[in-house]
Structure 1
Amino acid sequence: MRHAIALRRNALVSALSIALLSPLVAYGQTTPASGDNQSNTPQATSSSAQSSTAPDQKKAVKLQAVTVTGSMIPRVEVEGPAPVVTITGAQIKQQGFTTLWEFLDSLPQVGPQVQDPASWGSTSVNARSVNLRGLGPGFSLLMIDGHRVVDYPQPLSKQSNFQNYNNLPTGMIDHVEILASGASSIYGSDAVAGVVNVILKKNYQGDDLQVTGGGAERGGRAYGDVNFFGGKSGDNWHILYNVEKSNRTALWGMDRPYQDSVSDAGYGAWGPADRMFGYQYDSAGSIALMAQNASGQYITPPAGTCGKFTNSQLSQSHSVNTNGTQITGVTNNGYYCSQPAIFQNWVLTPGSRSNNGYVSGEYDFKDDLQLYGSAALYDTVGISNTQLPAYGTGEFYDQTTGQVINNAVRQLTAQEMNSAANTHDREQNWNLTAGLRGTMFSGNFNWDLNLNSQKYIVREDYTGIAPAAMNNFFLGPQKGSTTDSNGNTIPVYAMNWQQWWNPITPQQYSQFAVNGENTASSSLNQAQFRVNGDLFKFPWVDEPVGWAAVLEAADNSFMLSPDARSADGSTFQNPFGAYLTGGGTRQRYSLGTEFRVPVLDSLTWTISGRLDKYHDASSADIARTWGTGLEWRPYDGLLVRGTYGTNFKAPDMQAIYLQSSTSPIGDYDDPLQCINAIKAGVNNSTWCSTVQRPVSQYYTLTTEGGRTLQPQTGHSWTYGFVWQVPGVQGLSVSADYWHMGVDNAIEYLDPATVLNDEAGCLTGLQPNGSSGLSPYTTHVQGSAYCQMVIGLVQRSASGQITAEQVHPINQASLYVSGVDASLDYKLHTDDHGDFTTSINYTDNLSYKSRVLPSDPLLNTRYQNPASRVTWIGNWHKGDWNVSLSGVRVGSVRANNYAGCNVLPNGVQPGMTTATAASGTVYSTGVCTVQQDGNSVPVVDTTYLGRVPVWITWNTAIGWQINPETKITLTVSNLFNKIAGIPYYSGGFEFVPTNQSADEYTGREWFLTFDYKLD
């Protein structure tokens, strides 16, 4: 909800002109635009400060060539063939962003998160990925000082590698450059959607202390940060050091009263019983304590039982019978103990504690030779939680009461556990660099040889339970088995009802409590040799032909080491719903080159190519990419530009090396048993719908890597212009169209898709409702795909699923396109100070995707915001600086969009579907209800609700008290705006989260004290 400052052209040119260290700038880096060692100013040099420079001083400055992200060749012009967003670290922090990820998430070019860190079972609670252009986190590349960053050790969504943007503190950042278009011909794999290049502070003289405190006005997210940095120089050396300690408390459901109760769901999610008796959520998610007899009736707890448990109350459950649109009866299901505020201990945004250190230095030898190096350590502890441990018995015969218990569920409380049961992710990330650079051939060419080594370790401490020991605590040892009324064999126990209906003590809890630790690590060692220089001049142009080349070698590895005890779910159960194992290595050798050819004084052609050689367990071998760009400047104030390039992404290491990672699957549809039942004349088979199944049937899902995966290939192009508007000093506009696509993309087979295709491949049919069948035409029976999916499912002699396996395949396609536009204006006045304004806009025109080649290519643009606008206005005069900024995120479709409206009595009609000859299932647009066993159309309107446009404003006020002291007040979400709950919203996080990551945060205040020590 804050803003991004993009394309600060004039400001960056001016800053570069006074901040260059030397012309020996490394490929992938730009010289710092902040921390000028002559001014001793701790902030980035601002555009307003530059505009106050006298005209004759400006003319005395000679611009030198520097390297900007997206090219290996230094250039004078800040604007190149593809647009690059640039912002300084000081500007990021001034706007209230506490991490790099918070800033990047505000950019118009960034899509929604792929996995919400608060999601149940999240395996990367302390990390944040960036989804450039909506292609997915794996398709963008994070670099620090031009070096590729090691992958986060734990997988995203239990499947894929990604890079963590959440552990980089803003206090260490000099500036950030974002190229949001394909760049594989320069950077190789992953740079399909773009590159984020973080430049750390390098050039500073003196010592500075910054202290920041603040938090959310509505509660939670308290923030404190102490940042000390400085630099020292000698005749031929320079060193910079930076230590930063920060703490951000978590935002819990209890911090937002509208967010922690199931009754906060939108009214459209309330069914008939809810509307009659109050919102009830009859599932283990909101049940604190219950037991059901053989008929499914709740056994009433003893008087006063519910009041003994924290956050528990006596509730009555009802079922409402309907026939068509009418309510025909109400069934009293009995009483149980419920949790009205179920989400109060769930984390909305995780907390973190971090201690970070960074040191860099340079030593100049004679003859234009320089030794340089840096070392960084990012030490972070992330804090999160979702649901506390719960226990369910399943069906058994109870000797104590002499009856069959269909199921009994008990939710543990923090008081019983004497613990909040939070998960702590303890991370350490090392990054070491050493290099030597200089010139050759009489200074005509620059070269750079460097080594980089990174290590990332995550130790995840969590609270689990030992199910077998917990079962023994409440039920005692099994006393044999018997048969229920349906002929099912069930165990026999003598349940301890005294312990069941009363809170247990922490000492009793310790009998089945377990504390687990999952460990994961990843490493990256890489070497680079880079060279650039001028080759020759064409007689008809002033600029020489530029050339650059890079030679790289890299070694990657990762290892997932879950707590070995959790491999057996009966003795040890973790809160993530998965047991993830695997590990492997990869070696890469790369050669790239680039030419910048001035065809005319007004026309420049750039061409680049790269070759990457891989050694790993996949089928990847050699990837070749190339790219080209044109820059035409018909006159000084206009640039017309365009690029085209091919891209690739090597197979994900998690997708290659994931080994026998398991997770339990409970409620599921079984299309094969459904088809067989319908063919046998058994309508409304319990296998056709989980809703009709009285008892859950569990099996183990195993996820394996794919050793035959091929690289994912793609392409991208951009074209647009940058125009300095004539007659208006300081006004520039730009617009660029962009398009990128990925073919042969790696996609994990969905477990439900495997079961559907298995049934179709075996029978040639597919279920069409609970009593009908239609031909299966998605895949040809007997095809290689059919043989594959049939082999992925294991069944017992009775046909019940005992195990299923899924793995990734090269099948998916994804194509995105859109328009970026910006406006920048700078005004200098002698009496009223300096003004700058920047507006940036992105419109995502299309988002077309499919999983299988046989699937239709669907444009799902409107599933996420189609547009985003950010803006900022700055005023600077004397000792004062004020900024006002904002963000506008476009409307999105609400839950149940294009579905049937719920009736006033709570009955929810269903949208009927049909199957085309191609096998594609589509909506008929007809809403129906079940009446007397038949589907009856309902005169109803389709729901077309939308989530409103999201707009927030932010401001910052800075006062330079004296040359050594400055204070800055930053207010984020100035008008304390929070999102509303959509009508059909249900489940967890009732507010929509695909517009912004913090629509429940509200106003935040930050006060920064900046003191220069010398």
Structure 2
Amino acid sequence: MSNIRVRRGVLASSLALALFAPSAFAQTSSTTSGNSQTNQQNQQSTSSSGQSADQQKATKLQTVTVTGSMIPRTEIEGPAPVVTITGEQIKKEGFTTLWEFLDSLPQVGQQSEDPAAWGSTSVNARSVNLRNLGPGFSLLMIDGHRIVDYPQPLSAQSNFQNYNNIPTGMIDHIEILASGASSIYGSDAVAGVVNVILKKNYQGDELQVTGGGATRGGRAYGDINFFGGKSGENWHVLYNVEKSNRSALWGSDRPYQDSVSDAGYGAWGPADRMFGYQYDAAGAIGLSATNAAGQYITPPTGTCSKFGNNFALSNSHTVNTNGTQITSVTDNGSFCSQPALFKDWVLTPGSRSNNAYLSGEYDFSNGLQVYGSMALYDTVGISNTQLPVFASGEFYDQSTGQVINQAERQLTSQEMGTAGNTTDHEQNWNLQTGLRGSFDDSRFNWDLNLNAQKYIVHEDFTGLDQTAMNNFFLGKQQGTTTDSNGNTIPVYNMNWQQFWNPITPQQYSQFAVGGQNTSSSWLDQAQFRMNGDLFTLPWVADQPIGWAAVLEAAHNGFQLSPDPREANSTTFQDPFDEYNTGGGTRQRYSLGNEFRVPLLDTVTWTISGRLDKYHDASRADVARTWGTGIEWRPYSGLLVRGSYGTNFKAPDMQAIYQTGSVVPVGDYIDPLQCINAIKAGQNNSTWCSLVQRPTSQYYLNNTGGSTALLPQTGHSWTYGFVWQIPGVEGLSFSTDYWHMGVDNAIEYLSPAQVLLDNAGCLTGQQANGTSGLSPYTAHASNSAYCTLVNSWVVRNASGQLVSVKSGPLNEASLYVSGIDASLDYKKQTEYGDFTGTINYTDNLSYKQRVLASDPLLNTRYNYVASRISWIADWNKGDWNVSVSGVRDGSMRASNYGNCNVLPNGIQPSMLTVPNGAQSISTGICQVTLNGVATNIPDSVYWGRTPVWITWNTSVAWQINDMTKLKLTVSNIFNRVGAIPYYAGNFEFVTTGQTGSEYNGREIFLTFDYKLD
């Protein structure tokens, strides 16, 4: 039996009759599988009157189960829009992973953590951010069953599910419901559900081999996929093995040498522009030492060149200004910079994967069917680790008789004898078995499913023994002394020979250490489903009330096990400085019901409800959700629909059980001491500015989870229509308005926010820089919030900070809304068959507040507000040609609404005025000239990123019945994102738009051979 495929969009015109007039379409229609239950329902659709199969096919359309409902139905479309895409279409558009494809959909927003970001805790995984609500608010399922969480936390904070390890060769199709569905699926389905349907019905054997890569270099790709199926009289087995390899994209593959000169002031300040693009930023220093005055000590002649092309001699300058004028330039000495700082940085991590999947079914003679499947996803991911850096604090050097403010030494891969990269070894098992059948003459169907999953990550990284490294360059400590400011500093006899010259791998081994972080997560779940037809209302012809119920029990948990040596930072250092510990378990019991009620021949009402009971360390107890939907079909070519539902997300297990870390903080503002200083008339107090404090004034930042967390609650609604346009055969249009929100959302308070609120709660005031005070009205002094943050801050008798706790609490709110639209067309001609789909999403609002007292602001244009995707197909004989693309709308650029940098590099400041508890911008830029504030007219920057468009194509040739070739080109015009004018980050950073990237054009050739 063949499967109907709905192309990207809400409606395929070939299904129009099935959507609106199923009885008329029954003779030619097949079914699409929403989960593994569908085949059973199809097999069990027998007539109680004893009609033959051929007679039934002419009078009754077989039912399907579509994501978003548990009740099989004859129509593909329901009360809420569901997008269905085949695995073949994913490949046609040039995507080699499921995540890459999902990231191109109009319903998907920006990823919350860049995998190339320094300190990323999920370098080998990818999350999906439906509707920009955040990765944790969407649910990933495979064949209708929940998937285990990725073991490592996203941004070191929250749980999420990995969309990057599901091989595309195993996918039959995916169904995406981009609206809340907690009343059907429970927690996490706040923004929607992605249901991946694996291949089920296949007979024979097939081999697919794909190879290619980026024409600009890097991202070499190879994939071998073997799959097949065998059947007997009452059994069927499907098997799939896939092996793929994707090389990493390195910074050296995208040097952006043609763009550096065009980079704006965010990347290159006034000193850089005056003296040629010098790499004098702190992160770009390769080898340097500064004296007590902060000036660089010039390296011995030829030092930098000894390190090959890793280092280059650079001079440091400080530009002195007076208002709009540069008055002088101070020479701060020379050092060895890293002109190729990012050449060993991973822009896109590489991976090697070996995946296997086996499923089977066996039919007993009594109508029972037993089924099961086994899947193993084994992945090795390669990401960057910044090579180890030796950096001293202030010390007295006996060998030169001077105080050294800081000595910094970047090790190179040649010295280490290794690239020093981080490698993630991942294994994910998914085992399930089940039994299903029917009763009451096939009127009711039931399915009992048992599922066990485990996900393990071993992360190998390049660490170092900090004490041994210090001894190597500084020697043993010789005691202490006092500097000119009265601070006690250590005394060393530094080994300058080893500092200024390259070392050997043998020398590096004296302090080199390899580390391994391990994390695991698991999910065991049992599910019993039942559905069937209850009775028919007297006034509704031949449309019985449908009913479905589900009973679930689940046990899941996680464990973070970092290298135990990381607990002692003096002997062992993790280059990511992420010491995440914790672990815990959770039990859940759930009961859900759904009814589909034909109120009239043209009106159908759906209502669902679910109860989830939790046992864990949080305050989550019972979550109750409900949803409802309406469908009105006034005639066979029009569907008017709407839905509403309440949603929830259980407290994040990482937020509950993380035991966190303790990190010394020496660069901070103390708002309480700042307020006290202003009250005492000390308006220039250093406590009001972000400065590096002496060692004696450091405080300890304690981070960790909270057992006081509550579930995050939400709601969603949609309304729209699907229309088969009259007079134009094969043309259909749909549009839906959607709205969803989250209250009581978990927000991670930073130490700075905790200190700010602590000072406000204690004094009722807040500082406006160093100039004055204004009332603090964010929280009442006797509120529960103030009690909490005050308990998080510990001071000694003199008022100096000792420790500050920071972490998660239920405070934030987020509401989003927008419009989806889709246009679909199909035409058969003598020149071939043409199909086309255009999809459009406009995010009308993105209203967010972090704290309950914050205003609810619409920050829509800080994100890509609109996105369009399209695909057109032509088929004739043995040929198929596909053209597709994505258009990302504009968004506000870096520095939007702030002051333009002047041509000479001076940065004016925005004039602000007090407004109650807040300071607001006046839109006037100022500089201080001879002590007098001077306005700079027309100096506010209103820059926006350009629209981003990429095109893809594929050409397939069916050589014979057994052999097929396909050429796929992604990003036809080789577009690579430009450096934003005011982006002050790595030179390979692109515009920040979801689709903007640095991969460039990629070409793939696929050979497909049917073995039998």
Match of 2:925?
927
- In the alignment, the residues of structure 2 paired with residue 983 and residue 646 of structure 1 have an alpha-carbon distance, to the nearest angstrom, of 43
Match of 1:967?
965
2:92·2:882 contact (CA, 8 Å) conserved in 1?
no
1:692 offset after TM fit, Å?
8.0
- In the alignment, the residues of structure 2 paired with residue 530 and residue 360 of structure 1 have an alpha-carbon distance, to the nearest angstrom, of 20
Q: State the SS of the aligned residue for 2:462.
A: strand
1:263/1:489 CA distance change after superposition, 3 Å:
farther
Give the letter for the 1:638 counterpart.
L
Matches within 5 A, 1:41-120: 63-120=61-118
- In the alignment, the residues of structure 2 paired with residue 19 and residue 305 of structure 1 have an alpha-carbon distance, to the nearest angstrom, of 79
Match of 1:906?
905
Give the letter for the 1:780 counterpart.
A
**1:236-269 deviation per Cα after TM superposition (whole angstroms, max 9, x unaligned):** 0000000000000111110001179987742454
Cα RMSD of the aligned pairs, angstroms, is: 2.4
Give the letter for the 2:317 counterpart.
H
Match of 1:390?
389
1:735·1:821 contact (CA, 8 Å) conserved in 2?
yes
1:58/1:338 CA distance change after superposition, 3 Å:
farther
1:261/1:379 CA distance change after superposition, 3 Å:
farther
Q: State the SS of the aligned residue for 1:841.
A: strand
Matches within 5 A, 1:104-253: 104-253=102-251
Match of 1:667?
667
1:699 offset after TM fit, Å?
4.1
1:884/1:209 CA distance change after superposition, 3 Å:
same
1:386 offset after TM fit, Å?
4.3
Matches within 5 A, 1:712-791: 712-791=712-791
Between 772-781 and 396-405, report the one with greater CA deviation: 772-781
2:316·2:333 contact (CA, 8 Å) conserved in 1?
yes
Give the letter for the 1:528 counterpart.
Q
- In the alignment, the residues of structure 2 paired with residue 512 and residue 844 of structure 1 have an alpha-carbon distance, to the nearest angstrom, of 52
Q: State the SS of the aligned residue for 1:102.
A: helix
Match of 1:42?
none
Match of 1:631?
631
Give the letter for the 1:525 counterpart.
D
- In the alignment, the residues of structure 1 paired with residue 408 and residue 707 of structure 2 have an alpha-carbon distance, to the nearest angstrom, of 42
1:914 offset after TM fit, Å?
3.0
- In the alignment, the residues of structure 1 paired with residue 838 and residue 847 of structure 2 have an alpha-carbon distance, to the nearest angstrom, of 28
1:577·1:664 contact (CA, 8 Å) conserved in 2?
no
- In the alignment, the residues of structure 2 paired with residue 537 and residue 552 of structure 1 have an alpha-carbon distance, to the nearest angstrom, of 29
- In the alignment, the residues of structure 2 paired with residue 425 and residue 858 of structure 1 have an alpha-carbon distance, to the nearest angstrom, of 39
Give the letter for the 1:419 counterpart.
T
- Structure 2 residue 274 is the aligned partner of structure 1 residue 271: no
- In the alignment, the residues of structure 1 paired with residue 140 and residue 300 of structure 2 have an alpha-carbon distance, to the nearest angstrom, of 59
1:772 offset after TM fit, Å?
2.8
Give the letter for the 1:679 counterpart.
K
Match of 2:418?
419
**1:386-439 deviation per Cα after TM superposition (whole angstroms, max 9, x unaligned):** 421112101111111000111111111111111111101100000001000000
1:900·1:940 contact (CA, 8 Å) conserved in 2?
no
Match of 1:47?
none
- Structure 2 residue 886 is the aligned partner of structure 1 residue 883: no
**5+ residue gaps, structure 1:** 34-55
Q: State the SS of the aligned residue for 1:537.
A: coil
Indicate which of 7, 12, 19 corresponds to 1:9. 12
Match of 1:852?
851
- In the alignment, the residues of structure 2 paired with residue 32 and residue 89 of structure 1 have an alpha-carbon distance, to the nearest angstrom, of 22
1:998 offset after TM fit, Å?
5.3
**1:63-106 deviation per Cα after TM superposition (whole angstroms, max 9, x unaligned):** 31010000000011111100000011121122221111111000
Give the letter for the 1:689 counterpart.
S
Count of residue correspondences: 987
1:260·1:343 contact (CA, 8 Å) conserved in 2?
no
1:848/1:32 CA distance change after superposition, 3 Å:
farther
Give the letter for the 2:877 counterpart.
G
Match of 1:496?
495
Give the letter for the 1:197 counterpart.
N
1:579·1:663 contact (CA, 8 Å) conserved in 2?
no
Q: State the SS of the aligned residue for 1:74.
A: coil
1:600/1:764 CA distance change after superposition, 3 Å:
same
- Structure 2 residue 559 is the aligned partner of structure 1 residue 556: no
1:580/1:136 CA distance change after superposition, 3 Å:
same
1:17 offset after TM fit, Å?
8.1
1:662 offset after TM fit, Å?
3.8
- In the alignment, the residues of structure 2 paired with residue 421 and residue 800 of structure 1 have an alpha-carbon distance, to the nearest angstrom, of 40
2:180·2:740 contact (CA, 8 Å) conserved in 1?
yes
Give the letter for the 1:575 counterpart.
P
Matches within 5 A, 1:312-351: 312-351=311-350
Match of 1:38?
none
Give the letter for the 1:234 counterpart.
G
**5+ residue gaps, structure 2:** 1-5, 20-24, 42-53
1:28·1:69 contact (CA, 8 Å) conserved in 2?
no
Give the letter for the 1:394 counterpart.
G
- In the alignment, the residues of structure 1 paired with residue 479 and residue 878 of structure 2 have an alpha-carbon distance, to the nearest angstrom, of 83
1:997 offset after TM fit, Å?
5.1
Match of 2:582?
582
- In the alignment, the residues of structure 1 paired with residue 441 and residue 890 of structure 2 have an alpha-carbon distance, to the nearest angstrom, of 59
Give the letter for the 1:457 counterpart.
I
1:407/1:724 CA distance change after superposition, 3 Å:
same
- In the alignment, the residues of structure 1 paired with residue 699 and residue 926 of structure 2 have an alpha-carbon distance, to the nearest angstrom, of 34
1:782 offset after TM fit, Å?
4.0
1:29/1:936 CA distance change after superposition, 3 Å:
farther
* Fraction of identical pairs, as percent: 74
**1:507-529 deviation per Cα after TM superposition (whole angstroms, max 9, x unaligned):** 11111111110000000000010
1:264·1:990 contact (CA, 8 Å) conserved in 2?
no
- Structure 2 residue 871 is the aligned partner of structure 1 residue 872: yes
- In the alignment, the residues of structure 1 paired with residue 173 and residue 367 of structure 2 have an alpha-carbon distance, to the nearest angstrom, of 26
**1:972-1011 deviation per Cα after TM superposition (whole angstroms, max 9, x unaligned):** 0011111222211221254435313552111100000000
Match of 1:371?
370
- In the alignment, the residues of structure 1 paired with residue 580 and residue 154 of structure 2 have an alpha-carbon distance, to the nearest angstrom, of 12
- In the alignment, the residues of structure 1 paired with residue 204 and residue 689 of structure 2 have an alpha-carbon distance, to the nearest angstrom, of 69
1:10/1:725 CA distance change after superposition, 3 Å:
closer
Match of 1:40?
none
1:562/1:225 CA distance change after superposition, 3 Å:
same
2:385·2:422 contact (CA, 8 Å) conserved in 1?
no
1:573 offset after TM fit, Å?
1.0
Match of 2:48?
none
1:214 offset after TM fit, Å?
0.5
- In the alignment, the residues of structure 1 paired with residue 322 and residue 991 of structure 2 have an alpha-carbon distance, to the nearest angstrom, of 36
Match of 2:47?
none
Match of 1:537?
536
- In the alignment, the residues of structure 2 paired with residue 418 and residue 60 of structure 1 have an alpha-carbon distance, to the nearest angstrom, of 73
1:101/1:559 CA distance change after superposition, 3 Å:
same
1:113·1:994 contact (CA, 8 Å) conserved in 2?
no
- In the alignment, the residues of structure 2 paired with residue 916 and residue 30 of structure 1 have an alpha-carbon distance, to the nearest angstrom, of 61
- In the alignment, the residues of structure 2 paired with residue 562 and residue 714 of structure 1 have an alpha-carbon distance, to the nearest angstrom, of 35
Give the letter for the 1:100 counterpart.
L
Give me the TM-score of the superposition, normalised by structure 1: 0.94
1:265/1:686 CA distance change after superposition, 3 Å:
farther
Between 278-287 and 389-398, report the one with greater CA deviation: 278-287
1:808 offset after TM fit, Å?
1.0
Q: State the SS of the aligned residue for 2:686.
A: coil
1:426/1:698 CA distance change after superposition, 3 Å:
farther
1:17/1:92 CA distance change after superposition, 3 Å:
farther
- In the alignment, the residues of structure 1 paired with residue 7 and residue 996 of structure 2 have an alpha-carbon distance, to the nearest angstrom, of 16
1:268/1:198 CA distance change after superposition, 3 Å:
closer
Give the letter for the 1:190 counterpart.
D
- In the alignment, the residues of structure 2 paired with residue 7 and residue 61 of structure 1 have an alpha-carbon distance, to the nearest angstrom, of 27
Between 353-362 and 498-507, report the one with greater CA deviation: 498-507
1:704 offset after TM fit, Å?
1.4
1:464 offset after TM fit, Å?
1.1
Give the letter for the 1:769 counterpart.
G
Q: State the SS of the aligned residue for 1:478.
A: coil
1:282/1:771 CA distance change after superposition, 3 Å:
farther
Match of 1:51?
none
**1:606-629 deviation per Cα after TM superposition (whole angstroms, max 9, x unaligned):** 000000000000111111100000
